[in-house]
Structures are given as structure tokens and as C-alpha cells.
Amino acid sequence: MKMKLFSYNFENTFVHNLSGLTKLICFLFLTFAVMFSYDIRVILSILLFSLVVFRISKIKFKQVKLMVIYVAIFIFTNAIISFFFAPEYGVKIYGTKHEIIAITKSISLTYEQLFFQVTKLFKYASVIPFGIIFLLTTNPSELASALSGVGVNYKAAYAVALTLRYFPDIQREYSDISQAQQARGLDLSHKAKFKDRFKNALLIMVPLIFSTLSRIELISNAMDLRGFGKGKKRTWYNMRNLNKNDYLALGVSVFIFIVSLGVSFFINHSRFYNPFI
Amino acid sequence: MNDKLIIEFKNFSFQYYSQSEPTLHDINLKIYEGEKILIVGPSGSGKSTLGHCLNGLIPFSYRGVTEGSLKVKGKETNEQDIFKLSKIVGTVLQDSDGQFVGLTVGEDIAFVMENDNTPIDEMKERVLKVSKMVDMDKWLSSSPYELSGGQKQRTALAGVMIDDVDVLLFDEPLANLDPATGKTAIEIIDDIHQKTNKTIIIIEHRLEDVLHKDIDRIIVVNEGRIIADMNAHELVSSSILIENGIREPLYVTALKYAGVAVTPEMKPGHIYTLDTSAVNQVVKNWHLSVVKEAKRTLDEPILKMDEVTFSYDGRKKILENINMEIRRGEMVSVVGRNGAGKSTLSKLLCGFEKEDQGTIYYLKEDIKDKTIKERAELIGVVMQNPNQMISKPMIFDEVALGLKLRNVDPSEIEARVEKVLKICGLAPFIDWPISALSYGQKKRVTIASILVLNPSILILDEPTAGQDYKHYSEIMSFLQEINQTGVTVIMITHDMHLMLEYTPRAIVISDGQKIADTASSVVLTDRKVIEDANLKETSLYNLAQMVGIEDETRFVQNFIDYERQVR
């Protein structure tokens, strides 16, 4: 059977066993910690930390390979484009200019710009493992209860959970439909022309959309009949009280957050770390 | 039982906004507390609409015009809301897969309580208690993918019972279950009825299966009206069932074939109440008089599996050392419980998956290297749900799709599509949009779209799932006609009637192995095979024993032969 790509799989690890709410709050703190700071020392430490957590939660690289590739492409494109839009941004921030090479008369590559962009690149790179860990180790309904725990409307939270809950079903249906259509002569391989491939994909999407719509009708009836949406609040069966490990995880995240802020305010006196002065 | 009214329809009519005619006309019906009621009727008779009126989906989710009155527990439903009604009438829906909202059994059972904002400790306690009632307490942390159909249904039942409702409404509870699981489901419902004395309403068209246990009254619905309201014995003895397109129990059909006038005095409502003592000899005489069908001479083998083994992950074998031979022009059933490997078998034949070991021969040729597309011209597969296949808005385009993708000449496409639509009885609809067709007609369109490629073998996955007797008969006699044109038909099915009546031979798969490959009448009277494949003994077998016929298998075979001759 095909590996379940990018979807929740239960494993008995420290990270999986944390409550969904804990993971969501930790995720937010750590993301803010990285987002706030432009100090490459802080960022690299957090990146290292995120890779350790990645290891602890036993996620296999195979599961996230595709995602990582897309993100990598995105980050590099972003870096190149931002260079051409604002090649002097680093100079502006750090206040010095050490030229490496001049590309045209007005554009040149500077150490400042390079340093700034490398910092930014690692910034993105260290947030992404946290996102992946959070999504892959939190079961959808815990995610919903966590979202609702931090104040998101529970209907919206449940919608997110349902999407994730039915994702594997729809994947399976997609493969069934696609096989049946291939039997009728549909060519989905790279041999077909791009235009044909697009048209052919439609032949799978149409039945998929219709069957998904009827599934939605069924689910919404089932939920209505069991009183979903009745009150302003609801409880969550799998919501549990936080335990020692949860507090530990929260403590570590808050600590990292404070250190990141502390470094900015008291050591760098700015969000940027400036090695050029 | 007491005589306290719980549900009362008075001159009740309902019309969906989207329809030009009322779906329910002038319904008058009283249901008392603690009763166990069965509502039967063919597809489109209005029986599901009746159920929707009770649980509040009508008028709160499906809008329309109501007339007259419907009181549940003394209150007009119109003046309440779906949430209040759902506290009185708990509904177990047909599709136990789709209604599984939670990610685990425990969570799904707790769904109602979550919405009631119940504290977690109380919720966990009640979930445990209710799950014990339906024997699911060991599975509380399992996800729906790890459960069988029966277990999903138990979960759904627990999820409704946790609310302590007064009425339990089952909407086609047997639709997606194999025969043995369906039997268990009826037993569980009966058990709950006896333990809790809740009012039970079952909507179903598989009458004989529901009559496996006691029922107080049966309501027959057709064309939006109540046709009959009587007990099982009276109903089965009358001609109402046949007139309204509902299949009567097989043992009743057999008695009628034998020339017995079935009367309420024989208590024919359930096989276990039936008293045949007065007519035993009549049945025996008939048994001896049946002209046996000549065995069909079989053509050369068209499809052969030789020691085929397959596994998805390289560890767990889904199919192991399968040997079988299908002859040209045969009509064969492949049966077995869910997950036994039946669907995988058809995927191998179509080339969707490739066998790990062994060989599949078409005629004498190994077809390992043929692509899906090439195989489709030899072996066509029709999926269970036509909506999973239809991708074009117009009938002509849908049927022509396979040919267009093969770049066949337009004039030839037209000729071939016309021809196949004629065979499928769809010729008058050639320019119609598919959305105007009924479910059964859509099924035909999907079959036509496969047949147009001229495969010599047709594989159908549950061709009659969810169909009432009329549509079932239509589809099956259509397939029989196709078969007579020389196409070999292989059906993957749970439907024991289909096996008995249409396929002389059945192949039984259990845990990836072939455990039987013989006449359908033998399969359905062999205890061991029945148990392994989650089938159910046919009631003909019990009837034979009851009247004192020793060779029960022969009796079943005689029934089949006789039926073929009179049909």
C-alpha cells in the first residue's frame, strides 16, 4: 500500500503524547521566537533544536520529502527575487557596505546583503520543521480541540479537523476513480501532452467532486442529527488535562521565546545582529 | 408494550420544494411506545422521506411543504427544531462509514455529549458504559479504518443510544453489510429492544433479513402512501409484497412453487415460526417432480489464474496461491467477507495491481505485460457506484469516451455507441443528459461505457448493492442478456440471492485463499464455507430440513432450476 503521505500517524513518542493544545501553544511561541529575531546565532540554535525534536518524533524524511522540496524551491525563489527587488536592503540595515562584486553600475552584491539573506533563509528553514512536526503528530480532532482551546470558533476548528479526517478517504477514492478511468483509456503518464493531461485530469476530478459532494451531504446530516452546532460551546472527548511533560514542553518553548527576545533587547539592542560594526 | 402513543401522523403530506409532486400523501399512522416496527417499500416509495420526517431532517434540513400533523411525543414536529427532535428520535444512518464523524470509536460515540457540552469525566464514563452494551469497549481508541462494517454500525448505534432517546430509527441498516453481519445487526437491534424497551423503527427493503427476529408490525409504503399495516404473518401470506416490488422470503416463494397456499395460520412471518406440518408431503412431492436443468457444456477456459500471490506491503499476503479457471460465457460469483481479497482479485485481473508470483492467462497468453489500457479491451471492470465513473454530462459522450481516448474514427464511434446503447436499452436516451437518469439507468450507462470497448470478460463489483427488488431484477436480467451474447460475467458480491438465482458457480475467498469453487447451491448449504465467508444459510435449507428432505443441497438446486424454468 502507498505510504500515507503527509498525514497523521500515531507513534508512541514524547511529542505525539503531548496534548494538542500544548503543541499548538509551543508551535506559536517557537514561531514567534524565530520570527522576531534576525540574529543568526539564535536562529541556528533554534534550527538545531527543531531538528532534534524532529528526530524525537520519529518522522521519516520520506513522509515529508515532497513538502520539503516544495518549500526549498519556494525559499530559494524568494531569496533571489528579494535580492533583485531590494539589493541594498542589507546595507540599509547594517549601515556599512562591503562590496563583493558589482553586478551592474547600481546593483552590487554586498556582504551585508548576503548575511541578511542567509539569516532570512535559515529563519524560514527553522520554522518549517516545527510546522511539519505539529501537523504530523497531532491527530485531527486534537487539533480541533486545541484550536478551540485557544479561542477559535469551534465550528471552524471542527471544519479543519473534518478536512484532515476525510483526506485519506478522498485520496483512496481518487485512486479508485483514476484506475477506472485509466482502464477506459485515460493516459496520465508523462507521455501525454500537457494539454491532454489537463483535460484528462478533469475526467477524474468530475466524478471525484460529485462523490465528495454527496459525502458532504451525508456527513452534515449525520452531524445535525447528533446535535452539532447546538450550543455556543462544546466539550472535547479527547481533551485532557495537561501533565508534567506538557508543562515541560511549554516551559522550554517559553524559555526559548524569552531568550530570543532577550538577545534582541539586551544584547543586540535591535532585532538584528550586526557583525559589521 | 403499552398503549402510549409516541408517534402520530394525521393526514400528513409532504412535498420537497425541488419536486413537482408530493412525496408523501395523506399518511395516517400511529406508533406506540415500545413497539418494534418495520417500514418496507421499494426505492422512491417515500419510506426514507417518512424517516426524515421523524428525525427532523424534514423540514429542518430538507425544505418543503407539509400538510396535516405529525406529533412526536405529543408535540408537533414543525414547532420544534432538529436538536430537540434528535433527543427523542435517535437515527442510525445507512452508510456507517460516512456517519463516522469522530476519529476514534470513543470520540464518535461521545459526539452527542460533546455537543451538549458535557464535562469530560462524565462523558468518558457514559461512553464506556454504552460501548459495553454493543460490545465495542475494547475498541474505543481504534480508528474507522481498523473496523469492520459491523463494528462501525455498532459504533453508530452506541453513538445514538448514549443520548437515552425514546425512539431508535434505523435507516436501511443492512445496506452495506455482508449477510452474516446483517444477521448479527438484526440480533443486536432485537437485544436492545428487549433490554431497553425503546421504540424501534427499521426502514429496510430486505424483508427476509429483518424477519430473522420478531417484529410487531410491518408498514408497507409505496408511491408515498401507506399500503398496508399488519403483522408479518398476514403480510407474507398476502400478495401485497409482490404487487409492490418487495421480495418475499425465499422459503415462501418455495412453498408457493410447491403449490402450497400460504396462510396466516401457518405463521409464515418468520422461518422459525413457520409450521409446515400440514404441507410437508406437498413440498416433498414437488421436490421430486422438479425437472433438473441439463448441465451446460462449457467452452474453453478464457481466464486462468495460476498460483497467483499478491501483497501490498511485501509482508501480509492479500492473496495466496490462487488457482482458478473461468470458462468463456460463464457467469460466476466471487464471494467472501470484506477484506478477504475479492476486490484485490479484480484489481489484479484488470492490471491495476501486478501479481507478485504466479501467472494470469487470457486464453493461453500470459497478460503480465499488458497495460491497464490494453487489458481493458479484454477485461472490463464496472465499479460499484456509477457516480464514481461518470465524468461527462451527456450519455453519448460518456459511452464514447473510451473510444475517443483510443482515437477511433468518429463514424465508427457513432456506430458502436449506438449499437451498445441499443443492447443496454438506452437507445431512446442517446441525446439525454445523464443527470436526468435514475440510479439504475446510470448503472447501465457505466456498463455500456465499458461494453463499448468490446471486452470479452466483464467484472462487476456489487452490481446490485442498495437496489430494491425491481431494480435488482432489471439489472440482473440485463446482465444475463449480456451474458447470453457471449460475454463472460464475473460478479463480486455479498448478495446471496444473486448468487443463487443468477450464477451457477461461486468462488469463495477467505483470508486470501480460495476455500470453495463449486455450485452456488452447495456453497450456501455448507456450514464451514458459510462461516468462513461471512455468508448466511439460505432459508431454503431450513425449509428442506423442516419438511424432512434429507438432501438439502438438492432441494436448493431444485428451487434454482425450477425458478429458471418459470422465469
Q: Look at residue B306 in the predicted model and tell me its pLDDT.
A: 94
C-alpha span between B557 and B567 (Å, rounded)? 15
Best CA proximity match to B280, nearest among B254, B307, B303, B305: B254
Instruction: Show which of residues 77-116 on chain A sit within 8 Å of chain B, judged by CB atoms.
Output: none
Based on its alpha-carbon atoms, the radius of gyration of chain B, rounded to whole angstroms, reads: 25
Whether residues B116 and A230 touch (CB distance < 8 A) is answered with: yes
* pLDDT band, very low/low/confident/very high, at B374 (cuts 50, 70, 90): confident
Q: Do A179 and B101 touch (CB under 8 A)?
A: no
Q: Is residue A201 within 8 angstroms of chain B, CB to CB? A: no
Beta-carbon contacts of A64 under 8 Å, excluding residues fewer than 6 positions away, are: A6, A132, A136
Say what the pLDDT of residue A2 is: 38
Cβ–Cβ of A179/B347 closer than 8 Å? yes
Farthest CA pair distance, chain A:
71
- Grid cell for residue B270: 418468520
Residues B237-248 have a mean pLDDT of 93
CA atoms of A168 and A219, how far apart (whole Å):
15
Query: Cβ distance B395 to B429 under 8 Å?
Result: yes
* B217-222 and B36-40 strand pairing: parallel
Report the pLDDT averaged over residues B403-428. Answer: 91
The percent of residues above 70 in pLDDT, for chain B, comes to: 100
- What tens digit of pLDDT does each residue of B36-53 get? 999 999 888 899 899 999
pLDDT per residue as tens digits for the range A96-154:
888 888 888 778 888 988 999 999 999 988 888 898 888 888 888 888 888 888 888 99
Pick from B115, B119, B347: CB nearest A227: B115
Q: Report the DSSP beta bridge partners of residue B319.
A: B310
Closest approach of A6 to chain B, Cα-based (Å): 17
For residue A73, the number of C-alpha atoms closer than 13 Å in the C-beta half-sphere is 5
pLDDT at residue A1, as a whole number: 33
Examine the pLDDT at B503 and tell me if it is beyond 70: yes
Distance of CA B243 to the CA centre of its chain: 21
Give the minimum alpha-carbon distance from A112 to chain B in angstroms, rounded to a whole number.
51
| Closest to A165 measured CA to CA, from A1, A7, A6 | A7
pLDDT of residue A146: 86
Mean pLDDT across B155-172:
92
Q: CB B256: neighbour CB atoms within 10 A?
A: 13
Average pLDDT of every residue of chain B? 91
Q: How far apart are CA B296 and CA B282, in angstroms?
A: 30
- The correct CATH number of B328-353+370-546 out of 3.40.640.10, 2.60.40.350, 3.40.50.300, 3.30.1010.10 is 3.40.50.300
Q: What pLDDT score was predicted for residue A190?
A: 62
Confidence of residue B128 (pLDDT cuts 50, 70, 90): very high
Say how far apart CA B492 and CA B384 lie, in whole Å. Answer: 10
- How would DSSP label each residue in B113-144? HHHTT--HHHHHHHHHHHHHHTT-GGGTT--G
Strand segments (E) across B239-330: 301-311, 317-327
Domain locations in chain B as residue ranges: 5-266, 328-353+370-546
Partner residue facing B376 (CB), from A184, A214, A234: A184
DSSP H/E element including B194: helix B179-196
Grid look-up 417515500 returns: B46
Q: What is the mean pLDDT of residues B362-387?
A: 89
Interface of A with B in 159-188 (CB under 8 A): 161-162, 165, 168, 173, 176-177, 179-187
Q: Which CATH class is domain B5-266?
A: alpha beta
Residue in B closest to A241 by C-alpha: B120
All cell numbers assigned to B299: 467452452
Q: How far is CA B378 from the centre of its chain?
A: 29
A235 at interface of B, judged by CB pairs closer than 8 A: yes
Mutate to test the interface with B, among A193, A226, A240, A241 (most CBs of B within 10 A): A226
pLDDT for residue B161 is more than 60? yes
Cβ contacts below 8 Å, chain A against chain B, sum to 157
* pTM of the predicted model as reported, rounded to 2 decimal places: 0.85
> Roughly what angle, to the nearest 10 degrees, separates helices B250-257 and B280-289?
80
Nearest CA in chain B to A181: B389
Query: What average pLDDT does range B370-394 have in this prediction?
Result: 87
The reply to whether domains B5-266 and B328-353+370-546 share a CATH topology is yes
**Whole-number Cα distances in Å, B223 to A195, B24, B41:** 49, 8, 9
Ordered mean pLDDT values, 10 residues apiece, chain A (277 residues) = 54 87 92 91 92 88 84 89 87 87 83 90 89 86 85 89 81 86 76 74 86 86 89 85 90 94 89 84
- A235: nearest CB among B87, B123, B406: B123
Distances (CA, A) of A179 to A203, B309, B348: 12, 21, 12
Q: What digits encode the pLDDT tens for the residues B321-343?
A: 999 999 999 999 999 887 788 88
Q: Roughly what angle, to the nearest 10 degrees, separates helices B539-547 and B250-257?
A: 50
DSSP secondary structure letter of residue B46: S
Residues A140, B103 contacting (CB under 8 angstroms): yes
Contacts of A109 (CB under 8 A, 6+ apart): A87, A99, A100, A101, A102, A103
Distance CA A261, CA A263 (A): 6
Query: Is A230 in Cβ contact with B83 (below 8 Å)?
Result: yes
| Distant-in-sequence, close-in-space partners of B95: CB < 8 Å, separation ≥ 6 | A218, B175, B176
**Best mutation target, B103, B104, B420, to test chain A (most A CBs within 10 A):** B103
Share of chain B above pLDDT 90, in %: 64
Residue A231 with chain B: CB contacts under 8 Å: 115-117
A160 vs B519, more confident: B519
- The answer to whether A183 contacts B376, with C-beta atoms less than 8 Å apart, is yes
B446 touches B390 (CB < 8 A): yes
Q: Residues A165-184: pLDDT tens digits?
A: 787 788 888 888 888 888 88
pLDDT at B248: 94
Nearest to A176 among B107, B383, B392 (CB): B383
pLDDT of the residue at B272? 95
Q: Give the integer Cα–Cα distance in Å for B60 and B51.
A: 13
Specify which residues B365 forms β-bridges with: B362
- Contact predicate A128/A78, CB 8 Å: no
Angular region, B34: left φ>0, alpha ψ -120 to 50, beta rest: left
Q: Is B542 helix (H, G, I), strand (E, B) or coil?
A: helix
For residue B325, list its beta bridge partners. B304
Which chain B residues touch A181 with a CB distance below 8 Å? Answer: 389, 391
Is residue B203's pLDDT more than 60? yes
User: In one letter, which amino acid is B85?
Assistant: L
Region B175-181: what's the mean pLDDT?
86
Q: With contacts defined as CB-CB under 8 Å, which chain B residues touch A227?
A: 83, 86-87, 112, 115-116
Cα–Cα distances in Å, from A208 out to A171, B73, B397, B552?
10, 42, 18, 47
Chain A residues with CB under 8 Å of B448 CB are none
Smallest Cα distance from A206 to chain B, Å = 5
**Per-residue pLDDT band at B457 (split at 50, 70, 90):** very high
Band of the pLDDT at B507, cuts 50, 70, 90?
very high
In B, minimum Cα distance to A9 occurs at B143
Q: Following DSSP, what letter does each residue of B446-465 receive, concatenated?
A: HHHHHHTT--SEEEEESTTT
- Mark yes or no for CB contact A179/B117 under 8 Å: no
pLDDT digit string, tens, across residues B430-450: 888 888 887 778 888 999 999
Q: What is the 3-state secondary structure (H, E, C) of chain A?
A: CCCCCCCCCCCCCHHHHCCHHHHHHHHHHHHHHHHHCECHHHHHHHHHHHHHHHHHCCCCHHHHHHHHHHHHHHHHHHHHHHHHHCCCHHHHHHCCCCEEEECCCCCEEEHHHHHHHHHHHHHHHHHHHHHHHHHHHCCHHHHHHHHHHCCCCHHHHHHHHHHHHHHHHHHHHHHHHHHHHHHCCCCCCCCCCHHHHHHHHHHHHHHHHHHHHHHHHHHHHHHHHCCCCCCCCCCCCCCCCCCHHHHHHHHHHHHHHHHHHHHHHHHHCCCECCCCC
Nearest by CB to residue B107, choosing from A141, A184, A225, is: A141
Nearest CA in chain A to B142: A10
**The C-alpha cell that represents B231 in the structure block:** 403483522
What is the DSSP code (8-state) at residue B19? Answer: -
Of the candidates B217, B250, B247, B220, the residue with the CA atom closest to the CA atom of residue B232: B217
Please give, rounded to a whole number of angstroms, the shortest distance from the CA of A223 to a CA of chain B: 7
Which chain B residues are closer than 8 Å to A235 by Cβ?
Answer: 113-114, 117-120, 123
Q: What is the DSSP string of B327-364?
A: ETT-EEEEE--TTSSHHHHHHHHHTSS--SEEEEEETT
Considering only the C-alpha atoms of chain B, give the largest distance between any 2 of them, rounded to a whole number of Å.
72
Q: Is A214's Cβ below 8 Å from some Cβ in B?
A: yes
Write out the DSSP string of B71-121.
Answer: EETTEEGGGS-HHHHHTTEEEE-S-TTTT--SSSHHHHHHHHHHHTT--HH
Reduced 3-state DSSP string for B379-400? EEEECCCHHHCCCCCEHHHHHH
